[in-house]
Structure 1
Amino acid sequence: MARGVSLATMAGLLLVPMVATVCVAEDTVKEMEGVAPMSNNTPTILNTLKPNSDDPTAMGRWQAALEQVLPEPKPLPFHNVHLIGPFENMGYQGLLAAYPPEQEIDLAAVYQGKAGEVIWQRAPGLDGLLQEPKELSEWLTPEAWSVIYVYAEVEVEEPQIAELATGTPANVWAWANGELTIAPVFPHLERPVEDRAFIKLRPGTNKILLKLHIAIEPWSLSFHFESYGRPKDIEAALADVLNRSPDDVTRLLARYTLAEIFAIQGKVEATHQALDALRGDPFATKWDIAWADAVMRQHSETGSFLPLHDVRFAYTPVTG
């Protein structure tokens, strides 16, 4: 993947609020009162922009700023990929059901599935680096309104910050080492949307679990990891962007991304400070402040800031 594409998603933490900030007229914003928890699946002006550092848009400026301070991301291959399913998803009930693979990863286990017993199927064709979407029908028989799980492993020698990206017509949730990191509420109705989140990889084997909520879409999937290197280097790079006194949009996006980098590492005090800085930014809107409050509440009640892209507490970010 080209660096411009990946760097654009470093701002993906809060695409919807940023649209409220720089793209949406005030009367349109007022019509959005009572929206569900935001998701990075929601189509917006920003996430349809082409990644181009010469682009004068907000996203283009953000990419250009990051390209000056971050290295080229390194693709990381997947190993030991397995699939299991199908489980029931009629009417998207799978969004509310926690099937056994979410409780444990036991590749020898047998579970009750949608129409009988199901077992993990080894999928060597999904190992390595996936450049194009893969059809899953090679290992599982497609059936409408199903949940399937994909398990994969990623090996690294030292702690790293990586970006997980999944692309499929289905709604995808993702766990990294047992922690939920991507959990969009809304299905992808009109087009495939790539879900992304930053992950902290620990030395050794990192366990990745994907949950695909399939309706009548094709059974296909693309997913990949790209490493940006050591956490402290990423933190320093983002601090450098802030210290350069960038324009309002770039500064606000840097605050979002820095909060995410701290949060995925479990740095509670640093995350609180980053969220406070975001709240106090002169360019922050009611959307931005409400999101930061929701993240804080999520941490207070669950002990985790994650998932950040899909905060688990509903809120009304715009009033009056």
Structure 2
Amino acid sequence: MIGEPNVDLAATYPSGDKQAAWKRVQGSADIGKVDLLKEVADCQACLCYAYTEIEVSEEADAVLCLGVDDGEKVWYNSSLVLDNFTQGALVLDRDKIPVHLKKGINTLLLKVYQNAMPWEFCVRILSPEGVPVSFTQKKP
């Protein structure tokens, strides 16, 4: 474990007989989907973390929309906002979490569980009216 919700992008962590390190991956442009079997590891009964920092120019209410195969824990600005260990296919926007974007940097940490078969997640940040929120990704 990484000492959640704290993140040190320069650190490595024990993973079986190896050391795991953070690596940058890019989600799809349309729904922000990341295929973890392709990007991280082809494994069963495992987990990984995903982290980002986004910057917004003004504070606003928003909805953090997630779809995950299989389960997840989500920290927004270091606060646990979702703990959902389920099994099943990714469903776009299955989990909707109201959040308040503060002006400046906001952090998002996901712990994504893998049971079997596909392993993926998608994240979108929408206004309460369902419009994509404009932001700048700062890290990683």
Q: Above 0.5 in TM-score?
A: yes
Matches within 5 A, 1:232-311: none
Residue of structure 2 in register with 1:100 after alignment = 2
1:215 alignment partner AA: N
Residue of structure 1 in register with 2:133 after alignment = none
TM-superposed CA distance for 1:132, in Å, is: 6.2
Alpha-carbon deviations, 1:247-290, whole Å to 9, x = none?
Answer: xxxxxxxxxxxxxxxxxxxxxxxxxxxxxxxxxxxxxxxxxxxx
RMSD in angstroms over aligned alpha carbons? 2.1
Residue of structure 1 in register with 2:114 after alignment = 214
**What SS does the corresponding residue of 1:164 show, helix, strand or coil?**
strand
TM-superposed CA distance for 1:104, in Å, is: 1.8
Residues 101 and 219 of structure 1: CA distance in aligned 2, closer, same or farther (over 3 Å): farther
Distance in 2 (CA, whole Å) between partners of 1:197 and 1:176 is 10
Residues 228 and 115 of structure 1: CA distance in aligned 2, closer, same or farther (over 3 Å): same
Aligned partner (choices 19, 22, 27) of residue 126 of structure 1:
27
Matches within 5 A, 1:104-115: 104-115=6-17
Distance in 2 (CA, whole Å) between partners of 1:217 and 1:138 is 12
Aligned partner (choices 144, 168, 180) of residue 44 of structure 2:
144
Matches within 5 A, 1:146-165: 146-165=46-65
Residue of structure 2 in register with 1:188 after alignment = 87
1:205 alignment partner AA: I
TM-superposed CA distance for 1:160, in Å, is: 1.1
Alpha-carbon deviations, 1:137-179, whole Å to 9, x = none?
Answer: 3431221001100111221112111111111221011110100
- Indicate yes or no: 2:71 matched with 1:175: no
Distance in 2 (CA, whole Å) between partners of 1:109 and 1:126 is 23
| Segments ≥4 residues shifted beyond 4 Å | none
Confirm or deny: 8 A CA contact 2:37 2:118 kept in the other structure. no
Higher strand share: 2
Confirm or deny: 8 A CA contact 2:27 2:33 kept in the other structure. no
1:192 alignment partner AA: L
Aligned partner (choices 101, 119, 127) of residue 201 of structure 1:
101
Compare CA radii of gyration and give the structure with the larger one.
Answer: 1
**For this pair of structures, how many residues does the alignment match?**
127
TM-superposed CA distance for 1:103, in Å, is: 4.3
Higher helix share: 1
TM-superposed CA distance for 1:113, in Å, is: 1.8
Structure showing greater relative contact order (alpha-carbon pairs closer than 8 Å, 6 or more residues apart): 2
Identity %: 26
Distance in 1 (CA, whole Å) between partners of 2:32 and 2:39 is 17
Distance in 2 (CA, whole Å) between partners of 1:200 and 1:107 is 25
Confirm or deny: 8 A CA contact 2:72 2:83 kept in the other structure. yes
Distance in 2 (CA, whole Å) between partners of 1:157 and 1:103 is 24
Residues 213 and 205 of structure 1: CA distance in aligned 2, closer, same or farther (over 3 Å): same
Distance in 2 (CA, whole Å) between partners of 1:103 and 1:167 is 20
TM-score, length basis structure 1: 0.37
TM-superposed CA distance for 1:101, in Å, is: 4.7
**What SS does the corresponding residue of 1:137 show, helix, strand or coil?**
helix
